[in-house]
Chains A and B, each alone.
Chain A
Amino acid sequence: MNREGAADRLGQESGGDLVQEFMNHWVALSGDAWLALGGADDVRRALAEAISAMVPDRAPGARPRVVAWATDELAPLDLPGLLASLGCECVSWTDRPGGTGAARDPRAPAAAGSEDDAGSAGAVMSQRRNLCAASDMGITTCSWAVADTGTIALCATPSTGRLPSLLPTAHVALVRSSQIVRSVPDGLRLMADYRVQHGGLPSTVNLVSGPSRSADIEGDLAVGVHGPRRAGVIVGEW
């Protein structure tokens, strides 16, 4: 959606530099970064590496749980197949928790109307929340990324929720190299395109620059206070 805009405006002007600077800044912020410019298989390889590096060891027999955005952008990567081969449990953001795993139509309106509907929608939401909180990794894409600061932009939509990048212990974002722009203002200008294309802004846009951090204890840097302890990016083309 914004990706083409980014490429048209700035992406080609110094693509390689932007990729390298983005990754350098992300790593400087204590994030993890992988480069995978060799197509979908290369991205899958990088993702497997990211999972083995960022997902903490589980008790023997316990399968790592990964929750992924339900965006079409991820479809060519066949995440369910990849994660199964890695011994991980794969949950899609729009799966109904505890249900059959059937994908819910992201464009269907939220349950509303009668008290009962609202109540059961609330219960489903709370299950989904607990599922994310008990996940080892969240996998997302991004809307755009910034080379100058090592920043990714995550837009909240029905298929791309807030929680997969927030509650799991680790978060990895798949960034297309053409999505990287030079500066934060360059990125924010893309949101004007989004407004036009979608008839309004998303309810939330989160800019994320590395893992959760704090210096509140004697000025000593602590990573992973609330959000993910590990934050990774895979810059690829697929």
Chain B
Amino acid sequence: MPGVLPPAGASWPERRRRALADPTMRAAVALSARNLAEKKAAAYAAYPPGEAMRKPAVASRREALKHTDALLEELTRQVEARGGHVSRAGGPADVGRYVLAVARRRGAQRVVKSKSMATEEVALNEQLEAAGLHVRETDLGEYIIQLARERPAHILVPASHKTRQQIRALFDAEAEKSKVAPPTGDATPELTAFARRQLRAEFLAAEIGITGGNFLVAETGTLVLITNEGNGRMTTSLPPVHIAVVGIDKIVATWDDVAVLLQQAPMSGTGQLISTYTSFITGPRLPGELDGPEEFHLLLLDNGRHELLGTAYEDVLSCIRCGACLNVCPVFRTIGGQAYGSMYSGPIGVVLTPLLGGLDQAPELPKSACAMCYACRDACPMEIELPRHILALRRTEIEESMEPLTVRLTFELWGRFWANPSGFRLTARLARLGQRALMRNGRLTRAPGLVGGWTATRDSPPVAKETFHEWWQRTRTGSPT
């Protein structure tokens, strides 16, 4: 069953234009991406077991994808044996319906959430709010983004594009709305103290806690949840109901698999050897326990994933959402995450967004949001063939004729000319003739047709008065051409 992702909002040219016109955001994103990439490199250099565990970690993910259905059945048996509930969700509506049914049965109004890409993917907050529930994101970055009513700019650091002044303004507005004291200043501890106070009250009042999950361990029915702030622990310890919404791709077979995988996400994502908190959750609280949720629900989300099993794209499902490919991507560093129009940005977003939500919904991502530099291929700890997938998606897009006829004909013609040396030289001579009217101060400042897109935001050097080939012909007579 194909999946459904939330609409991108604005068109690609509009999103791109907005991003390029925001130098503050671009500087912030570029800086944080660079920092995270450097920290990743430093972590693997300083801790050799990290690299030694990476190979078996990749193997365990790939192996699990070959037996996904059997592992999901085993997982279901184990969770149910521990008193948990397991349900399959085909797409966004299934998740919304399930959570709302639980909320209605419990008479619950207040929901706290720990950062989860899966729930972003199914726009769960919007669904719950439309039904009148109060939903609060509790990861500091997600809280900021929720107050700003924006989309995350980065998988790991969703508010990395916001300055402290902007964050303070959002907190001031929130303080006024909830009639509490505003932050005392815009220093990090002051802003953090405000969020801590506000969110602590939300945790204590919440009736349902919703999380995603980093891994699911089939052999014991265990959900593995990684956070740094402790909001994941709060969300799974305080409310009487815990609902985890987790993609079916997060399944692994055994604890030995998790043991080698656990540190890859933090090492590749932020350069931490391990995240501050890792929770292994097996069912609801046991009899006699004095805290913890009395109900545990696991919603296994498909949303286009199952269709990818057994295809050339299968390895995409081994992504551990570390963000390493974003941090090294020149396109991501230039336009930031929001321009992708998807909760999945960067190279993995370029691949995952069309694979889950349909290529016709986001053809621009593989087509335009990749420079084919292969940096992501080297950065991915799970060795996902991102550039190869992006090329394959481009090919599909051409084959399915999603491009306008003029574009296809232009590239067809261009391809034919450049397929042999004489055609290439002919285009150089033609361009040299044609460019005179378009030059200013020795630079090509505007160009007709498709090439105009290139010169709209930058000048191009003109075709030389004499090309290398022409020079060679003139000075080295008798050379083999």
Closest CB of chain B to A162's CB: distance in Å? Answer: 4
Does A157 belong to the interface (CB within 8 Å)?
yes
Q: Is the CB of A212 within 8 A of B283?
A: no
Closest CB of chain B to A99's CB: distance in Å? Answer: 13
Does A189 belong to the interface (CB within 8 Å)?
yes
Does A75 belong to the interface (CB within 8 Å)?
no
Does B285 belong to the interface (CB within 8 Å)?
yes
Nearest chain A residue, comparing its CB with the CB of B281: A204
Contact of B280 among A109, A201, A220 (CB under 8 A): A201
Contact of B229 among A25, A112, A203, A226 (CB under 8 A): A226
**Contact partners of B203 in chain A: CB under 8 A:** 226
Q: Is the CB of B228 within 8 A of A212?
A: yes
**Contact partners of A209 in chain B: CB under 8 A:** 273-277
Of B260, B278, B279, B291, most buried by chain A (CB within 10 Å of CB) is B291
A residues 93-148 touching B (CB-CB < 8 Å): 93-94, 106-110, 112, 122, 125, 128-130, 133, 146, 148
Does B100 belong to the interface (CB within 8 Å)?
no
Q: Is the CB of A128 within 8 A of B290?
A: yes
Q: Is the CB of B47 within 8 A of A148?
A: yes
**Contact partners of B287 in chain A: CB under 8 A:** 109-110, 112
**Contact partners of A205 in chain B: CB under 8 A:** 279-280
Contact of A210 among B255, B276, B290 (CB under 8 A): B276
Complex Cα–Cα for A58 and B288 (A)? 34
Q: Is the CB of B274 within 8 A of A214?
A: no
Closest CB of chain B to A126's CB: distance in Å? Answer: 8
Contact of A189 among B47, B222, B259 (CB under 8 A): B259
Complex Cα–Cα for A181 and B49 (A)? 15
Does A86 belong to the interface (CB within 8 Å)?
no
Closest CB of chain B to A154's CB: distance in Å? Answer: 10
Does A206 belong to the interface (CB within 8 Å)?
yes
Nearest chain B residue, comparing its CB with the CB of A231: B276
Nearest chain B residue, comparing its CB with the CB of A124: B290
Q: Is the CB of A166 within 8 A of B234?
A: yes
Closest CB of chain B to A112's CB: distance in Å? Answer: 8
Nearest chain A residue, comparing its CB with the CB of B286: A203
Q: Is the CB of A161 within 8 A of B290?
A: yes
B residues 254-306 touching A (CB-CB < 8 Å): 255-256, 258-260, 262-263, 270, 273-292
Closest CB of chain B to A152's CB: distance in Å? Answer: 11
Does A191 belong to the interface (CB within 8 Å)?
yes
Does B167 belong to the interface (CB within 8 Å)?
yes
Does B231 belong to the interface (CB within 8 Å)?
yes
Among B187-195, B391-399, B441-449, the stretch in contact with A: B187-195
Do A226 and B160 form a contact, CB below 8 Å, given A109-B287, A188-B258, A202-B282? no
Nearest chain A residue, comparing its CB with the CB of B143: A216
Does A59 belong to the interface (CB within 8 Å)?
no
Does A224 belong to the interface (CB within 8 Å)?
yes
Does B381 belong to the interface (CB within 8 Å)?
no
**Contact partners of A196 in chain B: CB under 8 A:** none
Q: Is the CB of A227 within 8 A of B230?
A: yes
Contact flags (1/0) for B7-48 with A, using CB distance below 8 Å?
Answer: 000000000000000000000100110010000000000010
**Contact partners of A219 in chain B: CB under 8 A:** 31-32, 35, 157, 160
Does B173 belong to the interface (CB within 8 Å)?
no
Q: Is the CB of A217 within 8 A of B138?
A: no
Complex Cα–Cα for A146 and B236 (A)? 24
Of B189, B273, B276, most buried by chain A (CB within 10 Å of CB) is B276
Q: Is the CB of B234 within 8 A of A226?
A: yes
Complex Cα–Cα for A205 and B220 (A)? 13
Nearest chain B residue, comparing its CB with the CB of A31: B276
Complex Cα–Cα for A158 and B388 (A)? 52
Complex Cα–Cα for A145 and B196 (A)? 28
Q: Is the CB of A163 within 8 A of B237?
A: yes
Complex Cα–Cα for A26 and B258 (A)? 22
Q: Is the CB of B233 within 8 A of A201?
A: no
Complex Cα–Cα for A215 and B140 (A)? 9
Q: Is the CB of A166 within 8 A of B292?
A: no
Closest CB of chain A to B332's CB: distance in Å? Answer: 16
**Contact partners of A63 in chain B: CB under 8 A:** none
**Contact partners of A39 in chain B: CB under 8 A:** none
Does A184 belong to the interface (CB within 8 Å)?
yes
Of A149, A216, A218, A222, most buried by chain B (CB within 10 Å of CB) is A216
Of B82, B196, B230, most buried by chain A (CB within 10 Å of CB) is B230
Contact of B158 among A157, A216, A221 (CB under 8 A): A216
Does B180 belong to the interface (CB within 8 Å)?
no
**Contact partners of B280 in chain A: CB under 8 A:** 191, 201, 204-207
**Contact partners of B192 in chain A: CB under 8 A:** 214, 217, 222, 224-225
Q: Is the CB of A216 within 8 A of B292?
A: no
Does A208 belong to the interface (CB within 8 Å)?
yes
Does A200 belong to the interface (CB within 8 Å)?
yes
Complex Cα–Cα for A235 and B334 (A)? 48
Do A162 and B291 form a contact, CB below 8 Å, given A133-B204, A185-B260, A217-B167? yes
Does B439 belong to the interface (CB within 8 Å)?
no
Nearest chain A residue, comparing its CB with the CB of B220: A201
Does B244 belong to the interface (CB within 8 Å)?
no
Closest 5 CB pairs of A and B: A227-B230, A216-B141, A185-B259, A158-B288, A226-B230
A157-B289, A161-B292, A225-B230 given. 16 additional CB < 8 A pairs?
A93-B290, A125-B291, A156-B289, A161-B290, A162-B237, A188-B262, A204-B281, A207-B277, A207-B278, A212-B276, A212-B277, A216-B139, A219-B160, A221-B188, A226-B231, A226-B234
Which residues of B are interface residues toward A (Cβ below 8 A)? 28, 31-32, 35, 47, 49, 53, 82, 138-141, 144, 157-160, 162-164, 167, 188-189, 191-192, 195-196, 199-200, 203-204, 220, 222, 228-231, 233-234, 236-238, 240, 255-256, 258-260, 262-263, 270, 273-292
Which residues of A are interface residues toward B (Cβ below 8 A)? 25, 29, 93-94, 106-110, 112, 122, 125, 128-130, 133, 146, 148-149, 151, 156-158, 161-163, 166, 183-185, 188-189, 191-192, 195, 200-222, 224-228
8 CB < 8 A contacts A-B: A106-B288, A129-B238, A161-B292, A162-B237, A212-B229, A212-B230, A222-B188, A227-B230
